Structure 1
Amino acid sequence: MKGLSELQNIGLTKGEVKIYEALLELGETTRTELAKKSGISPSKIYDVANRLLEKGIITSVKKNGIIHFSPADPSRINDYLDKKEEELLEDKKSVKELLPMLLSKYNNTKEKSDVEVFYGWEGLRTAYDDIIKTLESGDEGYVFGASLGQNSKQADLFFSQYYEKVKRAGFKVKIIFNEDVRGNNDRTKYYTISKKHEVRYLHQETLAEVNIYDNTVLLVLLLKNPLVIRISSKEAYDSYKKYFDSLWKQAKK
């Protein structure tokens, strides 16, 4: 059976739950008795109780100059949640109105930042998702140094999911795998069976993969905990693209 501590999940603090629970057991009571029962310091009772009063979960009345607190009908908790829901909808509306301005500021900042670093598999996903968001059908991306990685099973899973996104996006890829990847169907099958993409292999031992697309370069270290450096620069793009073209001539089908 769930206890009253579950009320913390709807926004009540631990202290508020203690006072509410004490009032349910005591009924109408004073600050002194409430402090004894709840374990909340008498000096803090009014602050915590006032928050519950604002939520409509308890009530108060002054008798002979002394404030008495009582629990409100528990169904008032639903009223409190309804009010929170209304406030959340208003907040969402406000954020929606602010979003164009926030995105504009974010994009301006992003344009000034030439280099970004991403860590771990989630960071890798974030970096590769940018390729999916950026390239469209008819566009082309270039990759060299594609390796098995230090954690090949995790990498196989990651890239199988990424390939599905590439397929839906519809852009073309020219990719140079390391020679030792040639026999790994999990990693190469998507590109080799598609007439849209071009695949070659090169004898090199490196965990550093390079993705080149839309004036952007991703330097990817497929370590057990991947590291990605994203460079947004036309000069970097042009330089790495020339290097790719040179490697493409050396690579074998």
Structure 2
Amino acid sequence: MSILRELGLTENEVKVYTTLLKIGSATVSVIAERSGLYRPYVYDTLERLEEKGLVSFLKKNNKKHFKAAHPSQLIEREKEKLEELQKLMPQLEEFLKLPKEEASVELYAGKKIVRVVQKDVLKTLMNKKEENLVIGVDEKRFMNADSVIMNQYFHQMQKYKLKERVLVRKGDTFLPGHKLTTQYRFLPRAYFSPTSTFIYGENVAIILFTEPLYGLIIRSNALAKAYRRQFEILWKSASV
């Protein structure tokens, strides 16, 4: 079953999912017994599988009975990831057109990318006293990914009087940035995809909100300038 782990499932998720495929609908206690996992691990694993659309449940006699989604759902999840990657391709192809310079690319997977990017933004802004420009952010997603680092980020922004401008979807109401440090403007939802882009100093960071999260930080002055120009065009057309 190593292919399932390559598709992004943890070892426990593979055990629970394949157990449910074999036995059909079952309660947590039955799943724990058949999979060999402790009940607390089963609860956590079922929750993650539900989020991935691989498990559902029905209540019978006031008890939850869990059922595995058809294996074809695994293919659908990979198709969705591929579609999001294809949407990102135009941005990646733009990198090839840039003047060649000394540049570096750092690639990350998992929720740690949120912590890495926010710490890198703060470090850069404190050193250069520039502003952070953000395109396509969904503040709730970031809070859900790592609420501790996000609260620290907003606290540090206010403490050191750092500045940022953020483009969010029209209709979003969760705007945790302090008014003295963060300016928000709104764009129609058609402008947005599951990616968030940060432009700060000579860096561009892109986070792809799939499962798991993927992200990269490109350290390139030419690329940062190109993205700043794009940001300013969008900022002028955005509503307050």
TM-score, normalisation: structure 2? 0.50
Other-structure match for 1:153:
144
The alignment partner of 2:158 has SS state of: helix
Q: Can you give the 5+ residue segments of structure 1 that lack an aligned partner in the other structure?
A: 1-110
Q: 1:206 to 1:223 in 2, by over 3 A?
A: same
Which amino acid in 2 is paired with 1:114?
S
What is the deviation of 1:198? 1.6
Other-structure match for 1:81:
none
Aligned CA RMSD, in angstroms, stands at 2.5
Q: Is the 8 A contact 1:148 1:155 kept in 2?
A: no
**Equivalent of 2:111, from 109, 121, 136?**
121
What is the deviation of 1:228? 1.2
What is the deviation of 1:189? 2.9
Between the aligned partners of 1:123 and 1:148, the Cα distance in structure 2 is 15
The alignment partner of 1:209 has SS state of: strand
Q: Deviations over 1:9-67 (max 9, x none)?
A: xxxxxxxxxxxxxxxxxxxxxxxxxxxxxxxxxxxxxxxxxxxxxxxxxxxxxxxxxxx
Is the radius of gyration larger for structure 1 or structure 2?
Answer: 1
Between the aligned partners of 1:196 and 1:149, the Cα distance in structure 2 is 18
Between the aligned partners of 1:163 and 1:196, the Cα distance in structure 2 is 9
Other-structure match for 1:218:
205
Q: 1:234 to 1:123 in 2, by over 3 A?
A: same
Identity across the alignment (%): 21
Between the aligned partners of 1:124 and 1:196, the Cα distance in structure 2 is 20
Q: Is the 8 A contact 1:135 1:169 kept in 2?
A: no
Which amino acid in 1 is paired with 2:121?
I
Q: Can you give the 5+ residue segments of structure 2 that lack an aligned partner in the other structure?
A: 1-100
TM-score, normalisation: structure 1? 0.48
The alignment partner of 2:207 has SS state of: strand
**Equivalent of 1:173, from 164, 182, 204?**
164
What is the deviation of 1:150? 6.0
Describe how 1:19-30 pairs up with structure 2 within 5 A: none
Q: 1:169 to 1:189 in 2, by over 3 A?
A: same
1:203 has 2:188 as partner: yes
Which amino acid in 2 is paired with 1:207?
P
The alignment partner of 1:128 has SS state of: helix
Structure with greater proportional helix content: 1
Other-structure match for 1:244:
231
Between the aligned partners of 1:198 and 1:151, the Cα distance in structure 2 is 17
Describe how 1:89-168 pairs up with structure 2 within 5 A: 114-136=104-126, 138-148=129-139, 153-154=144-145, 158-168=149-159
Between the aligned partners of 2:194 and 2:149, the Cα distance in structure 1 is 16
Q: Deviations over 1:232-253 (max 9, x none)?
A: 0011001100000010011111
What is the deviation of 1:155? 5.5
Q: What is the total number of aligned residue pairs between the two structures?
A: 137
Q: Deviations over 1:124-152 (max 9, x none)?
A: 21222111111128421111111256686
Which amino acid in 2 is paired with 1:119?
A
Q: Is the 8 A contact 1:178 1:203 kept in 2?
A: yes
Q: 1:245 to 1:151 in 2, by over 3 A?
A: closer
Which amino acid in 2 is paired with 1:123?
I
Q: Is the 8 A contact 1:124 1:227 kept in 2?
A: no
Between the aligned partners of 1:196 and 1:165, the Cα distance in structure 2 is 10
Q: Is the 8 A contact 1:118 1:124 kept in 2?
A: no
Q: Is the 8 A contact 1:132 1:169 kept in 2?
A: no
Q: 1:149 to 1:226 in 2, by over 3 A?
A: farther
Q: 1:218 to 1:170 in 2, by over 3 A?
A: same
Which amino acid in 1 is paired with 2:181?
K
